[in-house]
Structure 1
Amino acid sequence: MRRPGWAPVLLSYATFVLVGLNAGVGGVLIVSQMRDYGVNEATIGLTFFTSSAGYMAAGATAGALLHRLHVRMALAAGIAVYALGAVATAVRPPFAILVAVQLLVGYGTGVLESILNVFLAELPNSTTLLNRLHAFFGVGAFLGPLLAAWLLQYLSWTAVWLVLGLLCVPLAAGFLVAYPRRAPAAERAAEPRPTGVLRDTLRSPAVVLGSAFLAVYVGLEIGVGTWAYSFLMRVHGESGVIAGYTVSGYWLGLTLGRFLISPIATRAGMSAAGMATACLAGVTAVAAALWALPTASLATAGLVLLGFFLGPLFPTAMAVTPQLVPPRLMATAIGVMNGVSLLGGASLPWLTGWLAQHVGIWTLMPYALALSVVQLALWRLMLARAAAPSPELLPSES
Structure 2
Amino acid sequence: MEAGVFKALVGVEPTSSQLPTAPGRVVSRTCPAVPQRDDEDIELQDLQHPHNCAMPLDTSTRITPRKERDPEMSVPGTPGEPADAFEALPSFLDPPMNKFRVASCCMMNLLGGLTDSAPGALIPYMETYYNIGYAVVSLIFIGNALGFIVAAPLVESLRLRLGRARALGLSQLCLMCGYIPIVCTAPFPVVVCSYFLIGFGSAVSLAMNNVFCANLRDGTTILGAVHGSYGVGGTVGPLIATSLVSRVGTLFWSRYYLLTLGVSLFNATFSAWSFWDYEKEAADQHRESSSASALASSEGDGSATTTGGQPGKPAPAGTRQQLSAMFAAFRSRVVLLGALFIFAYQGAEVSISGWVISFLVATRDGDPSRVGYVTSGFWAGITLGRFALSPLGARVRGGERLFVYLVTAGAAVFQLLVWLVPSIVGGAVSLVVVGLLLGPVYPCAAAVFARNLTHAQQVSGIGVISAFGSSGGAVAPFTTGLLAQAAGTFVLHPIAIGLFGVMVLTWYGQPSVRKRTE
- TM-score by length of structure 2 reads 0.71
Indicate yes or no: 2:493 matched with 1:365: yes
What is the aligned counterpart of 1:332 among 460, 464, 486? Answer: 460
CA contact 1:66–1:190 (8 Å) conserved in 2: no
CA contact 1:90–1:158 (8 Å) conserved in 2: yes
SS at match of 2:471: helix
What is the aligned counterpart of 2:413 among 280, 285, 293? Answer: 285
CA contact 2:112–2:233 (8 Å) conserved in 1: yes
TM superposition shift of 1:201? 1.7
2:362 maps to what in 1?
Answer: 234
Indicate yes or no: 2:377 matched with 1:254: no
2:471 maps to what in 1?
Answer: 343
TM superposition shift of 1:267? 5.3
Indicate yes or no: 2:486 matched with 1:390: no
TM superposition shift of 1:275? 0.6
CA contact 1:271–1:391 (8 Å) conserved in 2: no
Q: Which runs of 5+ in 1 are unaligned?
A: 394-398
Q: Distance in 1 between matches of 2:185 and 2:317?
A: 39
CA deviations over 1:211-236 (Å, ceiling 9, x no partner): 11111111100000000111112211
What is the aligned counterpart of 1:101 among 191, 194, 205? Answer: 194
What is the aligned counterpart of 2:124 among 15, 19, 31? Answer: 31
Q: Distance in 2 between matches of 1:379 and 1:267?
A: 19
Q: Distance in 2 between matches of 1:211 and 1:118?
A: 15
Q: Distance in 2 between matches of 1:185 and 1:221?
A: 37
1:396 maps to what in 2?
Answer: none
Q: Distance in 1 between matches of 2:391 and 2:101?
A: 24
TM superposition shift of 1:327? 2.8
TM superposition shift of 1:238? 2.1
SS at match of 1:153: helix
For 2:478, give the aligned amino acid.
Answer: W
Would the alpha carbon gap of residues 361 and 111 (structure 1) be closer, same or farther in structure 2, given more than 3 Å must change? same
2:425 maps to what in 1?
Answer: 297
For 2:513, give the aligned amino acid.
Answer: S
TM superposition shift of 1:177? 2.7
Deviating more after overlay: 256-265 vs 371-380:
256-265
Q: Distance in 1 between matches of 2:317 and 2:223?
A: 20
Deviating more after overlay: 200-209 vs 75-84:
200-209
Indicate yes or no: 2:139 matched with 1:139: no
SS at match of 1:237: coil
Indicate yes or no: 2:247 matched with 1:123: no
2:261 maps to what in 1?
Answer: 165
Q: Distance in 2 between matches of 1:392 and 1:275?
A: 17
Q: Percent identity?
A: 28
Deviating more after overlay: 292-301 vs 83-92:
292-301
TM superposition shift of 1:131? 2.1
Let me know the Cα RMSD of the aligned residues: 2.3
Would the alpha carbon gap of residues 205 and 176 (structure 1) be closer, same or farther in structure 2, given more than 3 Å must change? closer
1:53 maps to what in 2?
Answer: 146
CA deviations over 1:334-371 (Å, ceiling 9, x no partner): 01110111332222111111121110112222222222
Residues paired across the two proteins, number: 389
2:391 maps to what in 1?
Answer: 263
Q: Distance in 2 between matches of 1:153 and 1:24?
A: 17
Q: Distance in 2 between matches of 1:262 and 1:131?
A: 5
TM superposition shift of 1:160? 0.5
Q: Which runs of 5+ in 2 are unaligned?
A: 1-89, 284-315
Q: Distance in 1 between matches of 2:426 and 2:374?
A: 11
Q: Distance in 2 between matches of 1:218 and 1:184?
A: 35
CA deviations over 1:244-273 (Å, ceiling 9, x no partner): 211100001111111122334555534111
Deviating more after overlay: 275-284 vs 232-241:
232-241
2:159 maps to what in 1?
Answer: 66
TM superposition shift of 1:120? 2.3
Please identify which structure carries the higher helix content: 1
CA contact 1:50–1:99 (8 Å) conserved in 2: yes
2:351 maps to what in 1?
Answer: 223
CA contact 1:70–1:181 (8 Å) conserved in 2: no
Indicate yes or no: 2:472 matched with 1:379: no
CA contact 1:131–1:319 (8 Å) conserved in 2: no
Deviating more after overlay: 173-182 vs 139-148:
173-182
2:371 maps to what in 1?
Answer: 243
For 2:484, give the aligned amino acid.
Answer: A
